[in-house]
């Protein structure tokens, strides 16, 4: 519904929104990267308004999104003093709980601006205690007012007789600025995964008339092993009807401080059962997502991590008496906060147990499956008891490998069993006959411990190739800037694992690269001569379901944080434009990385620099730190390679 702007008769306008264009761009238009994140902010407001039902309606023909709730609504005074007050501190100015006893999800008062990421027109209708109020906001007019030097925008009031709802709040988004008519199944799934309060009668969310439930998360049916935290979380086992093992764990993070969690972690029956966006551990606080992926913090290299999913409710992360732990985009937390450090240590302990339990179970299940092959069963029957344990470990690893069809697996068994015979030296060396005592066999077990681990063998060739590159980079630390620039330019873009171990296989979409090249040329045309000279190279890659832009600046180029943020925002805008053209329905997970010779200036507040870039889905890495971080990230590769080399040396020298 569009309203014409009437001439203002009252010298004091009814509504007022005060905001700078910079705030609008960074906290509204540019802050939220996807439709589920935007809609979740509106749903969270409905929760805070004590709504019991929220209806989201997407009309692709009208190009319209409507979100309506049955909460307590707002008066005209509420709209002005709370809704239109950007940065309204709800936690400080209102009771700690809602009239229904809910802990409010909102905190910073900026989520309301998220709708401007997708819509130019935002209509708000609300009814509270029989009083109807409403307004229409126009993004074009807001920008025009701000550019004209005015810091205050006056939305168009809606006459009460034109308001058709009888309770709660209705928000209508029109003149949508990006293709948001994503597949309903995708949107339903993503919204289901952003709230842990769904599933009961107290708070229900509907999409196009059909309720969003925990079943829409689409992973409970694929759970093979489940670990849940405390008795309060035991009911999750009822959702995982196909789980083979269910294990209860302590939910205590810090007993002294009273920090506890609810939730669970699980492993899927196979890697195909979970897509890459689900292979993570989500953190909730007060029922709303605050960290999209905690698993990536651990840089787990073990095979079990590729099967992991999980949801953890950690309300202690969002206590009123402490400062806000969540970053401005409301989708991740400040990782240096002590509360997050304690949660991370707790999860690290959990993952160690998960790895052990999963390994034991997979060994048993893999052995059962492998022995269905008569030839393997016959070979296995020839082994001694001690060697059977090693064979069982191999079976479990082989049966867990992703994307291996039956014929490829058959060939893998052939090669693996031959290697086992050679490495175990079965019946080939006379000294084996002299092994009699437990101590003798214990020493032999230690000798072949690394060889028994199929994962070490699986990664050996990868490690070998990467080691050569790491050694080459290691020699650069004390070389001049020109050599560093040249070698980084040669290797970095095609070896993204140097920046993140999970980016093993980077690819390039030719259409996207061509389109993005044109867009980056437009961005480059707007740079100063000094900025253009300071940029050595820029490339686009995709890896691990992410769209990645890497800018390599000249080593000696000093860059200010304001300049860097401004450039990053332009790259993000160019990439988003191309993604909307070529992949309109897919999720847009973007990361921008700038490789610098020095920290951005001023160097007195590096933490703030990192936070500013994180809001833009960006970060920077220094030339000289790159190799050290890569070496640390691949310590497992180095250790395993050293173990294998030592064992091979011993065997060859016998």
446 in any annotated domain: no
pLDDT in the model for residue 23: 62
Residue 166 domain flag: yes
User: Does 538 lie in the same domain as 484?
Assistant: yes
* Shared-domain flag, residues 339 and 395: no
* 136: confidence class by pLDDT, cuts 50, 70, 90: very high
Inter-residue contact 263 to 287 (CB < 8 Å)? no
Contact 119, 175 (CB under 8 A): yes
Query: Burial level of 94, CB count in 10 A (0-12/13-18/19+)?
Result: middle
- Give 593-615 pLDDT, tens digit per residue: 999 999 999 998 898 999 999 98
Q: Identify the pLDDT of residue 229.
A: 96
Q: Which percentage of the chain shows pLDDT scores above 90?
A: 31
Cα(426)–Cα(216) distance, integer angstroms:
52
Average pLDDT over the chain, rounded to an integer: 80
User: What is the reported pLDDT for 464?
Assistant: 63
Of 232-236, 432-436, 564-568, minimum mean pLDDT range: 432-436
Query: In total, how many domains does the chain have?
Result: 4
Measure Cα distances from 647 to 99, 428, 465 in Å.
68, 17, 20
Name the most confidently modeled range: 122-136, 334-348, 445-459, 502-516: 122-136
DSSP states of 486-542 as a string? HHHHHHGGG-GGGT-TT--S-B--HHHHHHHHHHHHHHHHTS-HHHHHHEEEEEEEE
Under 8 Å between Cβ of 600 and 564: yes
Please list, in sequence order, all residues whose beta carbon lies within 8 angstroms of the beta carbon of residue 503, skipping any fewer than 6 positions away: 496, 497, 543, 544, 546, 548
- Within this chain, do residues 615 and 503 fall inside the same structural domain, yes or no? yes
pLDDT band at residue 160 using 50, 70 and 90 as cut-offs: very high
- In a domain, residue 528? The reply is yes
Are 556 and 596 in contact by the 8 Å Cβ rule? The answer is no
**Six-digit token pair at 158?**
């809606």
Lowest mean pLDDT among 312-316, 358-362, 386-390: 386-390
Per-residue pLDDT reduced to its tens digit, 328-384: 655 678 888 899 999 999 999 999 999 889 888 888 888 998 899 888 888 888 877
Residue with tokens 């620099």: 609
pLDDT at 591: 92
pTM: 0.59
pLDDT > 70 in the chain, percent: 77
Say what the alpha-carbon torsion angle 421, 425, 426, 428 is, to the nearest 10 degrees: 120
Give phi and psi for 262, each to the nearest 5.
-120, 170
Q: Is residue 149 part of a domain?
A: yes
Average pLDDT over residues 455-470: 59
Give the Cα separation of 115 and 135 in Å (integer): 15
Segment 616-638, tens digit of pLDDT: 889 999 988 887 777 676 666 56
| Same structural domain, 397 and 498 | no
Per the model's pLDDT, the better-predicted residue between 76 and 533 turns out to be 76
pLDDT at 465 over 80: no
432 and 546 inside one domain? no
Domain assignment of residue 71, yes or no:
yes
Q: String of b and e for 65-87 (b: at least 16 CB within 10 Å)? A: bbbbbbbbbbbbebbbebbbbbe
Say whether pLDDT at 108 is over 70: no
**Could you say which of 327, 358, 389 is where a domain stops?**
358
584 and 475 together in one domain:
yes
Q: Which of 325, 358, 391 is the last residue of a domain?
A: 358
Say which range, 248-257, 264-273, 282-291, 432-441, has the weakest mean pLDDT: 432-441
Let me know whether 506 and 557 are in one domain: yes
Please give the backbone phi and psi of residue 131, each rounded to the nearest 5 degrees, phi first. Answer: -90, 120
pLDDT value at residue 442: 37
> 297 is in which domain, residue-wise?
219-358
Q: Is the domain of 476 the same as that of 582?
A: yes
244 and 161 inside one domain:
no
Cβ atoms 373, 399 nearer than 8 A: no
pLDDT at 122 over 60: yes
Q: Are residues 403 and 505 in the same domain?
A: no
The residue among 451 and 592 whose pLDDT is bigger is 592
Q: Is the pLDDT of residue 280 over 80?
A: yes
- State how far the Cα of 587 lies from the Cα of 583, in Å rounded to an integer: 8
Collapsed DSSP state (helix, strand, coil) of residue 579: helix
Please tell me the predicted confidence (pLDDT) of residue 333: 80
**What does the pLDDT read at residue 443?**
38
Residues 549, 550, 552, CA angle at the centre, nearest 5°? 150
- pLDDT (0 to 100) of residue 419: 58
Is residue 299 classed exposed, middle or buried when 0-12, 13-18 and 19+ CB atoms within 10 A define those classes?
middle
| Nearest residue to 498 via CA among 529, 456, 543, 460 | 543
Q: Is residue 620 part of a domain?
A: yes
Q: Are residues 379 and 520 in the same domain?
A: no
Task: Single out the residue of 565, 545, 646 nearest to residue 30, CA to CA.
Answer: 565
Omega before residue 177 within 30° of 0, cis: no
Half-sphere exposure of 237 (CA within 13 A, CB side): 16
Placement of tokens 């985009």 in the chain = 329
Look at the block and give the residue holding tokens 């960290």.
Answer: 291
In a domain, residue 7? The reply is no
Shared domain check, 394 and 292? no
| 609 part of a folded domain | yes
């Amino acid at each position: 519904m569009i309203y014409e702007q009437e001439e203002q008769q009252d010298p004091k306008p009814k509504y007022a929104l005060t905001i700078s264009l910079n705030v609008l761009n960074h906290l509204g238009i540019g802050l939220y990267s996807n439709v589920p994140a935007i809609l979740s902010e509106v749903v969270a407001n409905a929760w805070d308004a004590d709504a019991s039902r929220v209806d989201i309606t997407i009309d692709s023909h009208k190009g319209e999104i409507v979100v309506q709730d049955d909460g307590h609504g707002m008066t005209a005074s509420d709209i002005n003093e709370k809704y239109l007050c950007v940065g309204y501190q709800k936690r400080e100015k209102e009771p700690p709980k809602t009239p229904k006893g809910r802990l409010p999800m909102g905190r910073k008062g900026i989520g309301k601006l998220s709708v401007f990421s997708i819509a130019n027109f935002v209509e708000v209708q609300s009814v509270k205690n029989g009083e109807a109020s409403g307004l229409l906001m126009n993004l074009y007019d807001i920008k025009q007012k701000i550019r004209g030097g005015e810091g205050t925008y006056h939305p168009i009031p809606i006459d009460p007789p034109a308001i058709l709802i009888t309770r709660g709040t209705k928000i209508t988004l029109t003149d949508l600025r990006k293709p948001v008519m994503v597949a309903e199944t995708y949107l339903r799934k993503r919204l289901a995964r952003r709230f842990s309060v769904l599933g009961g009668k107290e708070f229900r969310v509907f999409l196009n008339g059909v309720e969003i439930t925990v079943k829409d998360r689409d992973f409970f049916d694929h759970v093979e092993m489940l670990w849940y935290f405390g008795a309060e979380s035991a009911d999750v086992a009822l959702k995982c009807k196909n789980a083979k093992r269910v294990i209860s764990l302590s939910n205590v993070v810090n007993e002294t401080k009273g920090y506890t969690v609810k939730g669970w972690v699980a492993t899927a029956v196979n890697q195909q059962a979970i897509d890459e966006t689900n292979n993570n551990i989500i953190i909730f606080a007060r029922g709303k997502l605050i960290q999209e992926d905690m698993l990536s913090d651990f840089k787990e290299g073990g095979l079990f991590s590729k099967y992991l999913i999980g949801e953890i409710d950690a309300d202690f992360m969002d206590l009123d008496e402490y400062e806000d732990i969540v970053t401005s985009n409301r989708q991740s937390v400040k990782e240096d906060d002590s509360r997050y450090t304690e949660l991370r240590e707790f999860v690290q302990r959990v993952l160690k147990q998960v790895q052990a339990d999963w390994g034991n179970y997979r060994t048993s299940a893999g052995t059962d499956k492998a022995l269905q092959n008569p030839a393997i069963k016959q070979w296995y029957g020839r082994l001694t008891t001690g060697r059977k344990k090693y064979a069982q470990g191999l079976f479990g690893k082989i049966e867990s490998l992703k994307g291996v069809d039956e014929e490829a697996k058959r060939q893998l068994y052939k090669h693996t069993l031959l290697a086992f015979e050679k490495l175990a030296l079965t019946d080939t060396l006379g000294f084996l006959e002299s092994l009699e005592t437990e101590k003798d066999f214990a020493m032999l077990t230690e000798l072949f411990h690394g060889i028994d681990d199929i994962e070490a063998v699986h990664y050996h060739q990868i490690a070998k190739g990467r080691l050569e590159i790491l050694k080459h980079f290691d020699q650069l630390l004390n070389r001049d800037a020109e050599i560093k620039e040249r070698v980084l330019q040669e290797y970095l873009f095609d070896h993204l694992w140097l920046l993140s171990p999970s980016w093993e296989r980077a690819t390039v979409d030719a259409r996207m690269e061509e389109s993005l090249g044109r867009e980056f040329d437009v961005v480059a045309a707007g740079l100063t001569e000094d900025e253009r000279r300071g940029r050595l190279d820029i490339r686009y890659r995709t890896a691990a379901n992410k769209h990645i832009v890497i800018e390599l600046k000249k080593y000696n180029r000093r860059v200010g944080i304001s300049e860097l943020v401004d450039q990053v925002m332009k790259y993000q805008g160019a990439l988003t434009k191309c993604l909307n053209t070529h992949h309109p329905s897919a999720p847009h997970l973007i990361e921008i990385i700038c490789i610098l010779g020095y920290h951005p200036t001023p160097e007195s507040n590096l933490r703030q620099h990192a936070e500013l870039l994180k809001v833009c889905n960006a970060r920077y890495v220094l030339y000289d730190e790159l190799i050290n971080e890569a070496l640390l990230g691949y310590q497992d590769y180095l250790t395993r390679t050293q173990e294998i080399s030592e064992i091979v040396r011993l065997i060859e020298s016998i």
